[in-house]
Every structure is written in C-alpha cells, then in structure tokens.
Structure 1
C-alpha cells in the first residue's frame, strides 16, 4: 500500500539563527517577516518552534501568517484547529486611526498622499492591513479614505 501522507522533512535542533527568527516572528510592523520566520521555523521541529508557531497561529492579526503556522504545526502532527478569518477589523479603532491621518494632511490631499502618510505614521497598521487584505488592500484603503 502506498503512503499518501506528505513527507515532513524536519531537523531536530534549532537553527543557528533561532533568536533572529524568534524576533522576526514577533515583529509587529512586518507581516512578511513574520511569515518568513514561520516558514523557516517550520523546518526545525522543537518545543521552542512549536511554541512560537502556536503563538502566531493564535494571535497574529494577518490570516496568511496564521494559516502558515497552522500548516507547519499540522504537518508535525500537532493538535491544532484551522484558523478562521476574522469578520471584524484586525486593528481596533481603525476608523479613528485613519481619520487622524487624514486630518493631518491638507484638505485637498490625494489618496496617494494619504497612503504615504499612513505608512509613515502607522507602519504597523499599514503593514497589518496590507497583509490581511492582500490584493484588495489598495481598493479597501481608498474606500476607507473616501468614506472618512
């Protein structure tokens, strides 16, 4: 009988750059860096890696990061539940944050100026929504800007 289970190629130690990966996995202003750290830690099965991936699965505001952590943990045979995309805003008070950014600009500013100012003032918010919304990010942000 042929084994149809996906093969999990996992090292049993921690990588030399474990501390860097741990820091990257917790970097709030860069979802891509967190995703890369999750992917890399997923190659090194240890209790420390499992703990970090479970934390990303349970707390990361970006669904892609949660999903990557879930996939790695599941491949290791961990008892985890698939994350559910949140129906609510991933950053509490997003309307107030965006309004504050808009009010800091001249009255006749463009959407591009608003977008750049948000990136400068609140890179954490910008980055989180960029990761969460994916290809729809610009349309979502422009819609929010128009509605403020």
Structure 2
C-alpha cells in the first residue's frame, strides 16, 4: 500500500472544493471535498478542515477532517458525536412536514416533502442517523400527533 502524497500547495480547483466542503445540502459532497483537500497541506485547507471538524452536522465528515488534520500534525481533539439533535429544531421541522401531508401519507411522501422543504435537515439526518432512524422518527411523530 503506497503512502498518500501530501502537497504543500493549494489544489487547482481549490475554490470548487471550498464550496463543496461547505455545501449544506450534501454531506457526501462535503466528505468528498474534505477527503480531496486532505491531499494539500496549506493554511487555507487547514482552516476549512477545522471548520468541518467543529461544525459539520454529520459525524463522518467531522471524523475525516479530524483524521486528516492529525496527519498534517495539527493539535486537534476527537470530535464528539451528537447524542440528540443533529440540527437544532429538526423535530419541529419533522412535525411541520408531517402535518402538511394527508393523514394517510407514506414515509416516502414524507421524505420527498422533507427534501423539498429542508434538504439540509434531510441530508444531515440521512448521513448521521440513516433512513431507518428517520422512518422510526416519522412513525413516532405519527403517534405523537394522534395523541394530541
């Protein structure tokens, strides 16, 4: 297995990677950008990686930024996995989406509407918790709504 070559310069597509690393609608784009930026040990790259480490709602992205920063010799702490809300107020978003749909709507209809209304929330929870978790949350919102 060959060691990854790290360059002490900015990539030619730095601006594009910078935008992708901050794209709220796609944790996969952020992850891929972080991974690609990890090949370039430059202060601007380190700033972006530190931002993803501290602020990304998806742990996989934080973890990748952490791993790369360690490789670069940066003094960073292991990111803490969020125990409750990945995005503050997301439960209210889920409830609002659920209430905006017909009573007999499907989980797929819920996901579609969530993506249209708040793709950032959908993306963060899909990346962090997965679709099974979202389906369980949707079912619980259904139960809660019927009890009110």
Q: What stretches of structure 1 of length at least 5 have no aligned partner? A: 1-5
CA distance in structure 2 between the partners assigned to 1:142 and 1:88 by the alignment: 16
Match of 2:62 among 60, 63, 66: 66
**What is the RMSD of the two structures over their aligned residues, measured on CA atoms?**
1.3
The Cα offsets for residues 20-43 of structure 1, whole Å up to 9 and x where unpaired, read as 011111111111000011001100
Give 1:127 shift: 0.3
Are the equivalent residues in 2 in contact too, given 1:25–1:34 (CA < 8 A)?
yes
Q: What stretches of structure 2 of length at least 5 have no aligned partner? A: 142-148
Match of 1:144 among 101, 120, 137: 137
TM-score using structure 2 length: 0.90
Counterpart for residue 93 of structure 1: 89
TM-score using structure 1 length: 0.90
CA distance in structure 2 between the partners assigned to 1:138 and 1:74 by the alignment: 31
How many pairs were matched up? Answer: 140
**Structure 1 stretches (4+) deviating beyond 3 angstroms?**
none
Counterpart for residue 44 of structure 1: 40
Give 1:144 shift: 1.1
Secondary structure of 1:14's aligned partner: coil
Secondary structure of 1:13's aligned partner: coil
